[in-house]
């Protein structure tokens, strides 16, 4: 059964036609999504190379939608300042890619953005124990990061529930983002397990009617 919580959507422009980025942004705005998600890949932490901080700064000039930067890079700490200056509203980086995670999270927060930690499918929730009380959000990857259009890894979904139990038992207020394989077919289970923000690339941008797909994702596929 779906809860009445308001689920938010972060639309990843990785899947958009980037020769027409204005159009992609208008699709996001017209569809009522809550964030624009930028997948920053460095060719090392993940196989592909994508955008840099200039792309984030340029997007900042053409939309008021909050910008959610997902850093899939090694040594993310050295890039934080660039994305703060670019006007990012939320920045997440990978637990697997940083050593001084506590410090990096605090740099993001001190810069005025929401600080998130992402974990890949092979990283357990238990690895978050020492920083869980300072994060603004945890982003559970339900695919191995690097590409859009992958099938959701079902075993990762239970981590949403584990995190939801932790936040309730410790009286914490971090949000749970889920990234990878999100669609109107998969969102119901993700929402029921406790997801607050659903990141979507292919299901949203490949849809004939992205606004309808966003509505269905939010509604857990049922249309409610």
- Least distance to Zn ion, CB of residue 37, Å: 6
- 81 catalytic residue (yes or no): no
Site for ligand DX5 in 118-147 (CB under 6 A): 143, 145-147
Three-state SS annotation for the chain: CCCCCCCEEEEEHHHCCHHHHHHHHHHHHHCCCCEEEEEEEECCCCCCECCCHHHHHHHHHHCCCCEEEEEECCCHHHHHHHHHHCCCCEEEEEHHHCCCHHHHHHHHHHCCCEEEEEECCCCCHHHHCCCCCCCCEEEEECCCCCCCCCCCCHHHCHHHHHHHHHHHHCCCCCEEEEECCCCCCCHHHHHHHCCCEEEECHHHHCCCCHHHHHHHHHCCCCCC
List the one residue from 92, 148, 156, 186 that touches ligand DX5 (CB under 6 A): 148
- 179 catalytic residue (yes or no): yes
Site for ligand DX5 in 34-73 (CB under 6 A): 37, 39, 70
- x/- track of binding to ligand DX5 for residues 158-197 (CB under 6 A): ---------------------xxxx---------------
Out of 34, 136, 179, 196, the active site residue is 179
The window from 39-47, 54-62, 73-81, 88-96 that contacts Zn ion (CB under 5 A) reads: 39-47
- Least distance to ligand DX5, CB of residue 46, Å: 6
């Amino acid at each position: 059964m779906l809860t009445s919580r308001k689920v938010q959507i972060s639309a990843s422009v990785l899947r958009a036609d980037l020769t027409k980025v204005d159009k992609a942004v208008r699709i996001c705005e017209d569809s009522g999504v809550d964030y624009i998600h930028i997948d920053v890949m460095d060719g090392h932490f993940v196989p592909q190379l994508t955008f840099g901080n200039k792309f984030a700064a340029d997007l900042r000039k053409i939309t008021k939608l909050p910008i959610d930067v997902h850093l899939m890079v090694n040594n993310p700490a050295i890039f934080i300042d660039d994305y703060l200056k670019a006007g990012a509203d939320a920045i997440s980086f990978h637990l697997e890619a940083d050593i001084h995670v506590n410090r990096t999270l605090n740099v993001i927060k001190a810069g005025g953005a929401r600080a998130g930690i992402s974990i890949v499918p092979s990283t357990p929730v238990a690895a978050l124990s020492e920083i869980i009380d300072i994060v603004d959000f945890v982003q559970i990857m339900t695919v191995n990061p690097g590409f859009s259009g992958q099938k959701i890894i079902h075993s990762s979904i239970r981590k949403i529930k584990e995190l939801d139990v932790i936040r309730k038992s410790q009286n914490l207020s971090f949000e749970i983002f889920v990234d990878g394989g999100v669609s109107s077919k998969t969102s119901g289970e993700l929402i029921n397990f406790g997801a607050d923000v659903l990141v979507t690339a292919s299901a949203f941008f490949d849809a004939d009617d992205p606004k309808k797909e966003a509505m269905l994702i939010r509604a857990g596929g049922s249309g409610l």
